[in-house]
Amino acid sequence: MPYTDFGFQEISLGAKSKKVQDLFARVATRYDLMNDLMSVGVHRLWKRDFIHRLPLKPGQMILDVAGGTGDIAIGIQKTHPHLDLNVMVCDLTLPMIERGRDRSLDDGLARNLHWCNGSAEDLPIPSQSIDIYTIVFGLRNVADKEKALKEAARVLKPGGYFFCLEFSKPIVPMLSKLYDVYSFNFLPLLGKYVAQDQDAYQYLVESIRQFPDQETLRHKMQEAGFHEAFYENWWGGIAALHWGRILING
């Protein structure tokens, strides 16, 4: 039986998907507030910059996987209303999707914004139907990352782009030590008192440490079929932007 990580635990691939689904269902109502508190609002800056890096063109179909409550999808539509983009959010956890759908309705963004409940490893999306695939702070929660990357390559059109923003490995030793102190001491307590779920945010911290480093993820992208694969460190490697492209004649 194949195994993967769930934080610092080793569990079966199937068990991880169920545990991740249960975890995000528990924290869905406080998820956005916790993101703001944990990052002191920095996640909003990162997501804004991420959206501005996307090579968007009129009429494209964008797929945001593990899109949760819709930060990226809603942000794309708010930032580029003139492009008439179609954006689909696909997430494993139904309560997260429901919360995101409610947000989009409150913001008057229901048009061209679609929602589906599904797994990154088995997307309910036709092959070669997507112009840009995005996944933001979600890949580390996927049980089989290699399969998810292959699914991303499958659904993208020839010439289509993959963009992933994820916590990564700090490249400055002192920054890494400070980040560890902050993460392991503050975030679980914040989860306990704000989200009433310390275990969920203990998992969050551990999942970041278990995620592949920048160069390893780049190689996994190449193995999945992205013949162009690059990364850029943000904030000294606390996060990293990875992007790749499917060959037009690949």
Residues spanned by the domain of 237: 3-245
pLDDT per residue over 138-160, tens digit each? 999 999 999 999 999 999 999 99
Residue 199 lies inside a defined structural domain of this protein: yes
Query: How many independent structural domains does the chain possess?
Result: 1
Nearest-angstrom CA–CA distance, 64 and 75: 11
Domain with residue 80: its CATH number is 3.40.50.150
Residue 73 lies inside a defined structural domain of this protein: yes
Say how many C-beta atoms besides its own lie within 10 A of residue 178's C-beta. 12
3-state secondary structure of 225: coil
**Tens of pLDDT, residue by residue, the chain (250 residues):** 577 877 788 888 778 888 888 878 887 787 777 677 777 778 899 999 999 999 999 999 999 999 988 999 999 999 999 999 999 999 999 998 999 898 888 777 767 899 999 999 999 999 999 999 999 999 999 999 999 999 999 999 999 999 999 999 998 888 788 888 888 887 878 778 877 888 888 888 888 888 999 999 999 999 999 988 999 999 999 999 999 999 886 5
Residue 154 lies inside a defined structural domain of this protein: yes
Nearest-angstrom CA–CA distance, 149 and 37: 30
Residue 25 lies inside a defined structural domain of this protein: yes
Residue 250 lies inside a defined structural domain of this protein: no
